[in-house]
């Protein structure tokens, strides 16, 4: 418990510090880049892709960008921290100071609405028309990232949030023959692993608890009832939500000591220290990529996957995207980056390393094997539900209120207070 509270305190202090001063620590990378030699203009690309797999994907796209644009130099302004919480806090301070990066990463969906309403972003509809992107991106995705008929971001991928990663050897030791399909089976299997002395469920920093919660809500409620939670007038105090939160409480009882972020929590599964971890499919790149960019583990042997319990047939999705801030120092360079991010070549270079599937419909499917082949198939056939933690279903103030309620629950274990906190967050922020 002390370690959870310490981790929460450190995370919140870091976010508040970055928001207050706009610098220090990891945030130093996003200070204005110095002019490069040879007359090249620097393009400041702001993201939170610093971990193995995601950083490799970014570098693959950077290589294409610099080959196609010899007059520009890529400036990597990435800020470490899973889910981008620290990056978003620092970004907000830069926008308020009218010193935006040339382009910044955001999650497609409700997360970007605050930036749009504040007038921080340029309309990219002309770029979509120029590149005919509405023909190559799925219609639902275009609809999700459109506001009043205008489009403000370029999606580079599709991620799945509701993935249960597990270690086949640890499950076998516990007498578990297959991944649990229901919440009830999952809780029973967690108990079996605990009896064998292994960590039943690995977990990272505080945001990974909200990530877990969204899968438990979906697995308990089903896709339609889950999606209805984000509509005006939704009843977060319903008995069905109470059941879901009680399930979450039972599952959290089996969580190991919180790790610093999602990667060390995932590594506990890959190394055979823990049985299960619920994390997005970016974990695949981390598990699978060679040791210089990942763990170099063998799928189906060192790690395996299934939809998180109760969610089979539903794709809990999110999409990383890039924007064009108003007042960007190098607007033309930013547009050049967005063209690479939107391109078939760029997405096919990025996504296999990142552990995601392309946003484009015309990508080279032969590049997407193993887990990624499963994801491509499910994306085209499953029901869809939007992620909470990763910006599809809720805007940033709503997410902050949800994370606050989850953080308080971690300390109190009070399910009733958690439910009221979630209900209050919905009342205050649903539109």
Per-residue pLDDT of 237-251, as tens digits, reads 999 999 999 999 999
Predicted local confidence at residue 30, as pLDDT = 39
* Under 8 Å between Cβ of 46 and 114: no
pLDDT band at 19 (very low <50, low <70, confident <90, very high): very low
pTM, full prediction: 0.83
Token output for 368: 């997407």
Which of 26-35, 138-147, 195-204, 342-351 bottoms out in mean pLDDT, i.e. has the lowest? 26-35
In a domain, 378, yes or no: no
> How many percent of the chain have pLDDT more than 70?
90
In a domain, 359, yes or no: yes
pLDDT band at 82 (very low <50, low <70, confident <90, very high): low
Residue 209 sits in the same domain as residue 303: yes
Residue 250 sits in the same domain as residue 194: yes
Residue 264 sits in the same domain as residue 395: yes
CATH number, residue 203 = 3.40.190.10
**DSSP 8-state secondary structure symbol assigned to residue 36:** P
Q: Which residue has the higher pLDDT, 139 or 179?
A: 179
* Under 8 Å between Cβ of 226 and 385: yes
In a domain, 238, yes or no: yes
The pLDDT of residue 15 is above 90: no
357 contacts: CB under 8 Å, gap ≥ 6: 157, 158, 351, 363, 368, 372, 375, 376, 379
The pLDDT of residue 427 is above 90: yes
Predicted local confidence at residue 38, as pLDDT = 59
In a domain, 374, yes or no: no
Predicted local confidence at residue 384, as pLDDT = 87
**Arithmetic mean of pLDDT, 174-183:** 98
Domain count, the chain: 2
In a domain, 296, yes or no: yes
Distance CA 389, CA 212 (A): 9
The pLDDT of residue 52 is above 50: yes
Residue 173 sits in the same domain as residue 52: no
**Arithmetic mean of pLDDT, 165-181:** 98
Write the pLDDT tens digit of every residue in 186-222: 999 999 999 999 999 999 999 999 999 999 999 999 9
Predicted local confidence at residue 9, as pLDDT = 38
Distance CA 392, CA 132 (A): 24
- The CA dihedral of 230, 236, 239, 244, to the nearest 10 degrees, is 70
The parent domain of residue 244 ranges over: 160-316+391-429
Residue 37 sits in the same domain as residue 75: yes
**Arithmetic mean of pLDDT, 352-361:** 90
The pLDDT of residue 37 is above 90: no
Distance CA 416, CA 213 (A): 15
In a domain, 192, yes or no: yes
**Arithmetic mean of pLDDT, 381-386:** 89
Mean predicted lDDT score pLDDT of the chain: 89
Which of 16-20, 155-159, 202-206 bottoms out in mean pLDDT, i.e. has the lowest? 16-20
pLDDT band at 303 (very low <50, low <70, confident <90, very high): very high
Residue 82 sits in the same domain as residue 133: yes
For residue 276, the cross-strand partners are 166, 201
Predicted local confidence at residue 16, as pLDDT = 30
In a domain, 46, yes or no: yes
């Amino acid at each position: 418990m002390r370690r959870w509270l310490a981790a929460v305190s450190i995370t919140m202090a870091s976010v508040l510090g970055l928001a207050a001063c706009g610098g220090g620590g990891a945030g130093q990378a996003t200070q204005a880049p110095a002019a490069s030699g040879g007359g090249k203009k620097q393009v400041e690309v702001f993201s939170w892709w610093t971990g193995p797999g995601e950083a490799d994907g970014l570098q693959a796209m950077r290589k294409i960008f610099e080959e196609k644009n010899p007059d520009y130099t890529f400036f990597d302004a990435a800020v470490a921290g899973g889910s981008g919480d620290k990056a978003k806090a620092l970004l907000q301070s830069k926008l308020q100071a009218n010193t935006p990066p040339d382009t910044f990463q955001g999650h497609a969906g409700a997360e970007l609405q605050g930036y749009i309403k504040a007038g921080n972003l340029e309309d990219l509809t002309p770029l979509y028309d120029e590149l005919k992107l509405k023909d190559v991106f799925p219609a639902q995705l275009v609809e999700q990232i459109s506001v009043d008929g205008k489009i403000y971001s370029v999606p580079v991928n599709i991620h799945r949030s509701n993935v249960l990663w597990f270690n086949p050897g640890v499950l076998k030791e516990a007498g578990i023959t297959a991944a649990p399909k229901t919440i009830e089976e999952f809780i029973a299997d967690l108990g079996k692993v605990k009896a064998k002395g292994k960590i039943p469920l690995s977990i990272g920093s505080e945001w990974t608890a909200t990530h877990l919660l969204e899968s438990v809500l979906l697995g308990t409620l089903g896709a339609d009832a889950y999606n209805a939670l984000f509509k005006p007038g939704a009843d977060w105090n319903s008995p069905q939500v109470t059941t879901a939160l009680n399930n979450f409480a039972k599952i959290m009882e089996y969580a190991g000591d919180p790790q610093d972020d999602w990667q060390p929590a995932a590594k506990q599964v890959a190394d055979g220290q823990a049985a299960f971890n619920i994390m997005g499919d970016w974990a695949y790149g981390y598990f699978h990529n060679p040791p210089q960019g990942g763990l170099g583990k063998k799928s189906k042997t060192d790690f395996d996957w299934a939809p998180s319990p109760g969610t089979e047939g539903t794709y809990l999705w999110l999409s990383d995207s890039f924007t064009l801030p108003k007042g960007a120092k190098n607007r033309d360079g930013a547009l050049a980056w967005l063209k690479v991010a939107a391109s078939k070549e760029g997405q096919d270079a990025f996504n296999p390393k990142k552990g995601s599937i392309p946003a484009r419909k015309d990508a080279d499917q032969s590049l997407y094997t193993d887990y990624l082949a499963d994801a491509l198939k499910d994306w085209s056939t499953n029901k869809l539900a939007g992620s909470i933690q990763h910006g599809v279903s809720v805007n940033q103030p709503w997410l902050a209120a949800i994370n606050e309620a989850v953080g308080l629950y971690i300390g109190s274990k009070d399910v009733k207070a958690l439910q009221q906190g979630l209900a209050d967050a919905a009342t205050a922020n649903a539109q």
